[in-house]
Structure 1
Amino acid sequence: MDRATAVRVSYHQFAIVSEGAVALFEGDFSGLTFPSQGYLTILTGTANGPVHVRISTEKSLIDEMDISQWAIVEEGNFRATHPLRVETNDGSVWDEFSEIRTLGMNCDISYTAYARGRVASWDLDLQEPQEEHLIVMWRTEDERGTPSRRTIKADSLVSETKEPDSDPPFDASDARVRTMGPFEFPG
């Protein structure tokens, strides 16, 4: 599968989520992606408006890519708990990417994400796409456990690269401990 369309983002992001999960971005804007259990958040330069998004499930596409043509490149993995879909903060589901559902559920998904135009469109409300994203994703047979990401090439929006990202340990005795996702609602 290889599909592309303009996705209308809000609050600098869109997500690839497991159905029934809510993508709660809890990181910072120091990278392109934020993988978590049940979803992958893609961070955009555009605050609100359309960005060009292409998603492919053909891993061989990575070998054909010239990363010098992209401003930022990251790779990582996350766990799909249910069939995947592309969703934005307002709850819109982008059916143009419905074939990513075939990657499966209860499996690890690896990805390589590419972007260009994030810096030029930083914090703008746009009517036409000025930013482009390519996400290549595939089912991984070996279980990796904790979601992670690694920056291969960074644009000027990246302030710090953490390899791999991991959640800090939580002290259950602290009443202020944050809630962890994914959050699934019975349907």
Structure 2
Amino acid sequence: MTSIRMMTQWSTVEADHHQFTLGERHADTLAVAVECSLFDAGSDFLTVHTGIAYGPVSIGVEVLGDQPESTLFEDWENVAECTISASALCVMTLQGEPVEDFTELTVLDPGRYRVRVHARGRDANWDMDVAEPSEDYLVQLWPVPRVQGFVRLKKTDTAWSEVDPELPSALTPTPREPVQTPSPRPLGRPKLKRLVNRKSVSRVQLRNFNEFKDVAHVDRLLAEKLLALSDDELRSVAQWLPRRALTKIGLLHIEWVSNGVTVLEAGLWERPKDIYAAAVQAKTGGDPDVPATQIVSVFDGQPVDPVYGAMNALIYGFDPDPAVAAFIAIRGTLLAYGPHWKDLVNELEAAFPRIANWTIEGSG
């Protein structure tokens, strides 16, 4: 099939919490209809999963007149496509800040577009902060007359593999029946979506946050109490939790751990990169000073290393969104307490009387 190929425009976008987005500026990125290892997509957006946690990635955008030939697949590690509808598209960060370099997107006619995403380099610096781009993405768009289902065209990398639906791969762009994705499955890692600016997210949307669901599974009333708190109160909870988690598993005596907690409790929200790197190493078992242990997970009854939860409480306690910080920190601290999780609830209520006095009708 012949395509009308426009010049590919290349630039960089800052990945945040393992993601960046292509779509309508005010798209509801919680309304996910398609979920795979390469992206989440809804009717008017597509959120790409990156290997790095934070930092720049290279992205090229190519607007076409028709479906392209599959000559590029050998240069890429993951290729997938789906359909979105839009009247105005842009590449943007998790916070909704657009990348202005992609002028071709600003002149697209309103309508349906097939979006093919190519990725490479996602395994190289998994879950790291980077200062220079180490991952490349190519996004091709072309108009289509009707909605077509999700298709995975190639996958040889390992990033986000647990999210992939069991679908047959299409190795060539020959005509095919649309493949409908099954109901989305939750990611194995934090799904933060667009929760960084919480003023733009309703309390109903916060209930879709995976960490909220995990906390509610253990203690529904506790989850509702946290949901009723103000941003300032949630920030205080996020500051308070890591010390409890790290004390519980006996790691607060380690100098970098103690320093990280001190910085967080002082209200310095710029997370030190050395502390982040050390915490990631510790929670993945790469720190010889942090012994690997196992307790029973409060969430599913399976063996789990409580270090993972405690380090997540420290890492995400610095998150700029207080709801994200509080819910990931409480989930991590519940993991650290394990079977003794009710002790944490009692300590939390003693430290924050408004949580203890809250009733189902409202805040007390």
Q: What TM bracket, shorter-length normalisation?
A: 0.7 to 0.9
Where relative contact order (Cα < 8 A, 6+ residues apart) is larger, the structure is 1
RMSD after superposition: 2.8
Task: Give the drift of 1:25.
Answer: 7.0
Q: Which residue of 1 aligns with 2:39?
A: 33
Counterparts of 1:124 and 1:73, CA distance in 2: 23
**Which sits farther off after the overlay, 50-59 or 123-132?**
50-59
What is the match of residue 152 of structure 1? 153
Q: Give the whole-Å Cα distance in 2 for the aligned partners of 1:143 and 1:64.
A: 21
User: Is 2:107 aligned against 1:102?
Assistant: yes
Equivalent of 1:70 in 59, 69, 76: 76
Check the 8 A contact 2:52/2:127 in 1, yes or no.
yes
Match in the other structure for 1:85? 90
The offset of 1:110, in angstroms, is: 0.1
Q: Is the CA contact (8 Å cut-off) linking 1:117 and 1:130 kept in structure 2?
A: yes
SS of 1:99 mapped into structure 2: helix
- Map 1:101-180 → 2, pairs under 5 A: 101-105=106-110, 107-140=111-144, 142-144=145-147, 148-154=149-155, 155-157=157-159, 158-159=161-162, 160-163=164-167, 164-165=180-181, 167=183
Q: CA separation of 1:46/1:27 partners in 2, compared to 1, >3 Å: closer, same or farther?
A: farther
Looking at structure 1, the residues matched to 112 and 67 of structure 2 have their Cα atoms a distance apart, in angstroms, of: 19
- Post-superposition shift, 1:121? 2.1
Residue 109 of structure 1 deviates from its aligned partner by 0.9
Question: For residues 39-59 of structure 1, what are the alpha-carbon distances to aligned partners after superposition, in whole Å with 9 as ceiling and x for unaligned?
Answer: 111111111100010010025
TM-score calculated relative to the size of structure 1:
0.77
SS at match of 2:150: strand
* Matched-pair contact (CA < 8 Å) for 1:19–1:85: yes
SS in 2 for 1:83: coil
SS in 1 for 2:96: coil
CA–CA distance in structure 2, aligned partners of residues 36 and 59 of structure 1: 22
Cα deviation for residue 84 of structure 1 reads 0.7
- Alpha-carbon distance between aligned partners in 2 of 1:25 and 1:116, rounded to the nearest angstrom: 26
More helix as a share of residues = 2
- TM-score, L = length of structure 2: 0.42
Separation (CA, whole Å) in 2 of partners of 1:122 and 1:27: 26
- Partners of 2:33 and 2:41 within 8 A in 1: no
Determine if contact 2:33/2:40 at 8 Å carries over to the other structure: yes
| Mean Cα deviation higher: 29-38 or 87-96 | 29-38
CA distance in 1, matches of 2:121, 2:67: 21
1:24 is aligned, of 30, 38, 44, to 30
Secondary structure at the residue paired with 2:30? coil
Letter in 2 for 1:152: L
Deviations 1:77-99 (A, max 9, x none): 1121x311111112211011132
Residue aligned with 2:118, SS = strand
Instruction: Report the counterpart of residue 173 of structure 1 in structure 2.
Output: none
Tell me if structure 2 keeps the 8 A contact 1:116–1:132. Answer: yes
Q: Output the amino acid matched with 2:153.
A: I
Q: Across the two proteins, how many residue pairs are aligned to each other?
A: 167
Q: Give the counterpart letter for 1:87 in structure 2.
A: M
Structure 1 distance, partners of 2:183, 2:149, is 10
SS of the aligned residue for 1:23 comes to coil
Answer whether contact 1:74 1:149 (CA < 8 A) is retained: yes
Contact 1:103-1:139 at 8 Å conserved across structures:
no
| Identity among equivalent pairs (%) | 26
